[in-house]
Structure 1
Amino acid sequence: MLGEQMKKIKTFEQDFPVPRTHCGFAMGNGNLGAMVWGAEKLHITVNRADFWDHRGGECLLPDTTYDKLKRAYDPGDRSKLETQFVREEMPDGVWKPSRIPVGRFEFSFKNKMRPLKGVLDYGTGSLIIKIGNSDKTSGEIIITVGLRENLIYIDDKADLIDAVITKPSWEFPAVVEHLSKLKFNPPEIVRRDDISGWIQACPEDPSLASICRKTPNAAVISLELGNNNMEALNASLKSIETLQSAVPAFKSGIEKWWKSYWKKAPEINLPSEFFNKFVKYALFRFACATHPFSPIGCGLQGPWIEEYQRGQWSGDYHFNVNIQQIYTLAFASNNLEHLIPLFNMLDGESYQKVMKNNAKVLFGIDDGLLLTHAVDDRGYQCGWISAGSTLDHAVGGWTAQLYWLYYKYTLDKEFLKKRAYPFMYGIMRVYEEMLEEHDGRLSIPVSISAEYGATFDGGRAQNAGRDPSYQLACMHMLADALLESSEILDIAPRQIWKTIKEKVPPYTLIEKGGEKKIAIWEGQDLDICHRHHSHLACIYPFDSLGDWTEEQKEIIDNSIDHWILKGMGQWSEWCMPWASIIHSRLGLKDSSLLLLEIWKEVFVNEGFITVYLPKFRGFSARRREDIMKPRESNEVMQLDGSMGGATAIYEMLLHTKNNTTYIFPAVSAKWKDVSFKNIRAPGAFLVSAVRKNGVTEEIVIKSLKGGRINISVPDCPRMRLIRKSGSSDISLPSPIDMKASETITLTVS
Structure 2
Amino acid sequence: MFLDNFTLDFPLPRPHCGLVLGNGNFGCQVWGQNDLCLTLGRSDCWDHRGGEQLLPGQTYQDFVQFSKEHGFGKGINALFRRKKSDGPLLRPQRVPIGRVDLHFSGDVVPMQGCIDYATGEVTVRLSNNASIALNLDLESPTLHIHDPEQQIVAVTGRPSWEFPQTRAWLENCGFQPPTILPTGWRQELPQDPAINVAWKQVGRNWIVSVHQDGDAPAPSASPKAVKERNARWWQAFWDKTAQLSFPDDFFRTFYQYAVYKFACATHPNGYACGLQGPWHEEYQKAQWSGDYHFNVNVQEIYGPACALGCPEHLLPLFDMLESADFQQTLRDNARVLFGIDDGLLFTHAVDDRGKQCGGISAGAVLDPACGAWTALLYWQYWQATGDRTFLRQRAWPFIHGVMRCYEEMLRPDGRKLCLPLAISAEYASSVNTANVCGRNPSYQLAAMHKLAAILVEASKLLGLTPKPLWLEIPTRLPKFSLVRKIKKIADMRRGQDGKPEIYYRRSIEKHIAIWEGQDLDVCHRHHSHLGCLYPFDSLPRELSPEEEKILDDSIDHWIAKGMGLWSEWCFPWAAIIMTRKGLNEAPMPLFRLWKDIFLNEGLCTVYLPRFRGIIAHRKNDLLKDKSSSEIMQLDGNMGAISAFLEMFAHVHAGVARFFQGIPAEWRPHCECRRIALPGGFLVSGSPAKLTILSRRGGTLCYEWKKQICRHDFAPGESLVLK
- Which bracket does the TM-score occupy, shorter chain normalised? over 0.9
Matches within 5 A, 1:238-249: 243=220, 246-249=222-225
User: What is residue 729 of structure 1 aligned with on the other side?
Assistant: none
TM-score (norm 2): 0.95
Whether the aligned pair in 1 keeps the contact of 2:262 and 2:638 (CA below 8 Å) is: yes
Separation of aligned partners in 1, 2:671 and 2:396? 36
Q: Deviations over 1:23-81 (max 9, x none)?
A: 10011011101100001100000011111010011111111111111122266563321
Matches within 5 A, 1:580-659: 580-659=575-654
1:538 aligns with 2:532: yes
1:405 to 364, 380, 400: 380
Whether the aligned pair in 2 keeps the contact of 1:93 and 1:183 (CA below 8 Å) is: no
Shift of 1:455: 10
1:176 to 137, 151, 167: 167
Separation of aligned partners in 2, 1:327 and 1:490? 30
User: What is residue 268 of structure 1 aligned with on the other side?
Assistant: 244
Shift of 1:94: 4.4
1:480 aligns with 2:471: no
Percent of aligned pairs with the same amino acid: 45
> How big is the alpha-carbon RMSD for the aligned residues of Structure 1 and Structure 2?
1.6
Q: Deviations over 1:358-398 (max 9, x none)?
A: 11110001111101101101111113111111100000000
Whether the aligned pair in 1 keeps the contact of 2:113 and 2:125 (CA below 8 Å) is: yes
Shift of 1:677: 0.8
1:493 aligns with 2:488: no
1:312 aligns with 2:312: no
1:374 aligns with 2:349: yes
User: What is residue 682 of structure 1 aligned with on the other side?
Assistant: 678
User: What is residue 226 of structure 1 aligned with on the other side?
Assistant: 213
Matches within 5 A, 1:282-293: 282-293=258-269
Code of the residue aligned with 2:50 in structure 1: it is G
User: What is residue 725 of structure 1 aligned with on the other side?
Assistant: none
Separation of aligned partners in 2, 1:455 and 1:667? 32
1:149 to 136, 140, 158: 140
TM-score (norm 1): 0.91
Q: Secondary structure at the match of 1:292?
A: coil
Aligned length: 698
2:196 to 204, 209, 219: 209
User: What is residue 199 of structure 1 aligned with on the other side?
Assistant: 186
1:553 to 544, 548, 569: 548
Code of the residue aligned with 2:484 in structure 1: it is E
Whether the aligned pair in 1 keeps the contact of 2:72 and 2:438 (CA below 8 Å) is: no
Whether the aligned pair in 2 keeps the contact of 1:103 and 1:167 (CA below 8 Å) is: yes
Shift of 1:460: 7.6
Shift of 1:573: 0.4
Separation of aligned partners in 2, 1:711 and 1:214? 58
Separation of aligned partners in 2, 1:179 and 1:560? 46
User: What is residue 504 of structure 1 aligned with on the other side?
Assistant: 477
1:25 to 19, 26, 44: 19
User: What is residue 277 of structure 1 aligned with on the other side?
Assistant: 253
1:258 aligns with 2:240: no
Task: Specify whether residues 740 and 371 from structure 1 end up closer, same or farther in structure 2 by C-alpha distance, changes over 3 A only.
Answer: same
Unaligned runs of at least 5 residues, structure 1: 691-695, 718-731
Flag as ranges the 4+ runs of structure 1 deviating above 4 A. Answer: 74-77
Separation of aligned partners in 1, 2:73 and 2:179? 47
Q: Secondary structure at the match of 1:480?
A: helix
Shift of 1:470: 0.3
Unaligned runs of at least 5 residues, structure 2: 487-507
Matches within 5 A, 1:574-585: 574-585=569-580
Matches within 5 A, 1:316-465: 316-453=291-428, 461-465=434-438
User: What is residue 177 of structure 2 aligned with on the other side?
Assistant: 186
Shift of 1:267: 1.8
Code of the residue aligned with 1:498 in structure 2: it is L
Q: Secondary structure at the match of 1:486?
A: helix
Shift of 1:216: 4.0
Separation of aligned partners in 1, 2:479 and 2:319? 32
Shift of 1:199: 1.1
Q: Secondary structure at the match of 2:28?
A: strand
Separation of aligned partners in 2, 1:455 and 1:27? 34
Shift of 1:211: 1.2
Separation of aligned partners in 2, 1:155 and 1:515? 66
Task: Specify whether residues 275 and 282 from structure 1 end up closer, same or farther in structure 2 by C-alpha distance, changes over 3 A only.
Answer: same
Task: Specify whether residues 75 and 288 from structure 1 end up closer, same or farther in structure 2 by C-alpha distance, changes over 3 A only.
Answer: farther
User: What is residue 708 of structure 1 aligned with on the other side?
Assistant: 699
Q: Deviations over 1:118-139 (max 9, x none)?
A: 1110000000011234xxx1x1
Shift of 1:712: 0.9
1:36 to 18, 30, 34: 30
Q: Secondary structure at the match of 2:473?
A: helix
1:128 to 107, 112, 123: 123
Q: Secondary structure at the match of 2:304?
A: helix
Code of the residue aligned with 2:610 in structure 1: it is K
User: What is residue 709 of structure 2 aligned with on the other side?
Assistant: 734
Task: Specify whether residues 119 and 508 from structure 1 end up closer, same or farther in structure 2 by C-alpha distance, changes over 3 A only.
Answer: same
Shift of 1:622: 1.1
Code of the residue aligned with 1:484 in structure 2: it is E
Code of the residue aligned with 2:294 in structure 1: it is F
Separation of aligned partners in 2, 1:655 and 1:363? 37
2:74 to 75, 79, 91: 79
